[in-house]
Amino acid sequence: MALVTSGPGASNTVTGIANAYLDSIPIIVLTGQVPTHLIGTDAFQEVDIVGITRPCTKHNFLIKRVEEVAKTIHEAFHIARSGRPGPVLIDLPKDIMAAVTEYEPEPPRKIEEESPRPASKKAFYVMDLVAESKKPLILSGGGVILGGASEELRQLAWRTKMPVSSTLMGLGAFPGSDPLWLGMPGMHGTYYANMAISHCDLLIAIGMRFDDRVTGKIDHFAPNAKIVHVDVDASSINKNVMVDVPIVSDCKSALQSFNALLEQQNFSVTDDQRREWTEQISTWKRENPLSYCQSDTEIKPQFVIETLYKLTKGKAIITTEVGQNQMWAAQFYGYDEPNTFLSSGGLGTMGYGFPAALGVKIAFPDKLVVDIAGDGSIQMNIQEMATAIQDNIPVKIVLLNNGYLGMVRQWQQLFYGKRYSSTDMTYQPDFLKLAEAYGWKGLRATKPEEVEAVLQKGLAAPGPVLMDFRVSREECVYPMVRPGGPIHEMALGREMAN
C-alpha cells in the first residue's frame, strides 16, 4: 500500500504503478486529491491522477461521496489480488477524507473474475503430449510465484523429469540447485536454456507472457515444439507467440489438475526414456556453462555475486536494481525458493531494488536482505538510506560500482561502435562518505582478494551496510542475444574477450 499527497505526490507514483502493472503485482495506492468542489478548476496541487494512471493501473477510482469509501476499498483489494493481479489506485478528495460516516460492513461487490480452471479434456491432452514427448521443457514465469504454485511446479517437473527454465520474474519457483534446472532463457539467458527451447518438441509455458526479451525473434522461437500455454490472463495467450494448446487458468489449478492426472494414470518415466534429451542438455551445459574471465587484478562483478552466494549459502533474499547488476544477480546467485529474488522485470525500473529491499526486510525481519545494485540505479532512490536508519531496517547494499550506466554502455560498445554517450558515471559521490553521512556503515573493496572479507564483514554487521565494490569497468553481460535476433544465436563473450 502507498499513501501519497495530491498533485506531485500522486504524479510521482506513476513509475511505481507502471512497474507493478507490468509485473502483475497487487498494490493499492491511495492518492490525495483537491476537495471535490475544486476538482477540474486547476486548483493548487491538482492533477487528474485517475486519467494519468488509467493505462497503467488494473483499475482506479475517484471517490466522490464518503459513503463510497468502504465499498470502494473492499473492491480495490479484491481487484488488485484476483485474476491477474495488478495495481489499483483510489483518489481521495480532501473533503471526503475529512468527512465522517458510519461504517457499515458490507460484503464487497462480487466481480466476475473467479479463478478459472482448465477443462479436464485439455489437461488430458497435455498429459498425452507429455507422454509422447521426447524432448519436453517447462518454461515458468512470475505467475507461478504469484499464484503460489511453486510446489505444484516442482511436483510436475520431478515426476515427468522435464527440465525447467524460468523467466526473470519466475526465478526461485524451481530450485536453482536442481539438476533439472536450466537457468533463465532469453537475451541474457543461459546457452543451454536457449538451446533447449530451440530444440524441444514440447514446451509447457506456465504463468509467463512471452516477453520479447525472452523470445527473441518470434519466428525462431521453439520452432519444433508443440506449445502449451497456461495463463490466468486470456489476453496474454496468442498475443506474441501462437500456441497449440491455450489454457486460461490460474497456475495452481492447472498444475494441480496436471499432477492429479499423472497420479491417476500412475505416470512414470524412466531415466532411459529421457536419456537422449538429458545427455544433449548436459552437453550444452558442458560446452557453454555460465562463465566469466576471472582476474587477479580487477574485481569481476560476477565474482562478487558468486562469493555472496557462497557466503549466504543461497539463503538471502535478493533484490536488484536494473541493468548489468540485475542480469548478473539473475545468473550467478542460485534461487532455491520462490520470493527470494525480487526485481523489476517488465518495466526495468532503475531504483526499484533498494526500496524493495526495505519493504522485504520489514516483512521478513529475520531474513538477510541484500540489494544488488549498480552505481547509477542506487542513486535513483538513495534518499531512502535515511528511512533505513529512521525505521531501523538493516538491509545490505552490494554495489557493483563500475562507474558507468553499465548496461547502456554495453549496448553502446556492442552496437554503436563504442561511442559512449551520457553513460560515464565517474563523477559520483564517494559512497563510503555517503553511507557515513546517512549513519550507515560503508565498506569498500578494490581488489579481488578483498571481496570475501568485505562481504563477510558487511553481512555480519548488525545495521544497514553499503558495500562498494569497485568492479572491472567495462565488463559485459554474456551470453547475449542481439536485440531482435533468434535466441539460439548467442554471443558468448569469449570472442569479445578483448
CA torsion angle 429 374 441 313 (round to 10): -170
* For another protein, the closer CB: 242 or 437: 242
Which of another protein, ligand TPP, none interacts with 405 (beta carbon under 5 to 8 A by kind)? Answer: ligand TPP
* For another protein, the closer CB: 15 or 280: 15
Angle of CA points 80, 82, 87, to nearest 5°:
20
Say how many C-beta atoms besides its own lie within 10 A of residue 3's C-beta. 11
One-letter amino acid for residue 363 of the chain: A
Smallest gap from Cβ 235 to another protein, in A, equals: 4
C-alpha 249/C-alpha 144 separation (Å) is 11
Q: Which of 41, 36, 53, 46 is nearest to 93 (CA)?
A: 36
Which range binds ligand TPP by CB under 6 A, 78-86, 111-119, 130-138, 397-405?
A: 397-405
C-alpha 177/C-alpha 314 separation (Å) is 10
**Rounded to 5, what percent of the chain is helix, strand, coil?**
40, 15, 40
Which of ligand TPP, another protein, none interacts with 406 (beta carbon under 5 to 8 A by kind)? Answer: ligand TPP
State yes or no: residue 111 binds another protein (CB under 8 A).
yes
Smallest gap from Cβ 239 to ligand TPP, in A, equals: 23
* For another protein, the closer CB: 111 or 453: 111
The DSSP code for 165 is: E
State yes or no: residue 352 binds ligand TPP (CB under 6 A).
no
Q: State phi, psi for 274 to the nearest 5 degrees.
A: -95, -5
Q: Is the dihedral of CA 271, 277, 283, 288 positive or negative?
A: negative
Which range binds ligand TPP by CB under 6 A, 134-142, 233-241, 372-380, 480-488?
A: 372-380
Q: How many residues bind another protein (CB under 8 A)?
A: 17
Helix (H) or strand (E) holding 248: strand 245-248
State the cell numbers at 287: 560446452
State yes or no: residue 40 binds another protein (CB under 8 A).
no
One-letter amino acid for residue 334 of the chain: G
State yes or no: residue 325 binds ligand TPP (CB under 6 A).
yes
Contacts of 470 (CB under 8 A, 6+ apart): 299, 401, 444, 445, 446
> For ligand TPP, which residue of 23, 75, 152, 375 counts as binding (CB under 6 A)?
375
State yes or no: residue 54 binds another protein (CB under 8 A).
yes
Which of ligand TPP, another protein, none interacts with 325 (beta carbon under 5 to 8 A by kind)? Answer: ligand TPP
Q: How many residues bind ligand TPP (CB under 6 A)?
A: 20
Q: How many CA atoms lie within 13 A of 274 on its CB side?
A: 19
State yes or no: residue 115 binds another protein (CB under 8 A).
no
State yes or no: residue 219 binds another protein (CB under 8 A).
no
Which range binds another protein by CB under 8 A, 51-59, 144-152, 203-211, 431-439?
A: 51-59
Which residues would be at the binding site for ligand TPP (CB under 6 A)? Answer: 321-325, 348-351, 374-377, 400, 402, 404-408
Which residues would be at the binding site for another protein (CB under 8 A)? Answer: 50-51, 54-55, 58-59, 62, 79, 84, 111-112, 233-235, 237-239
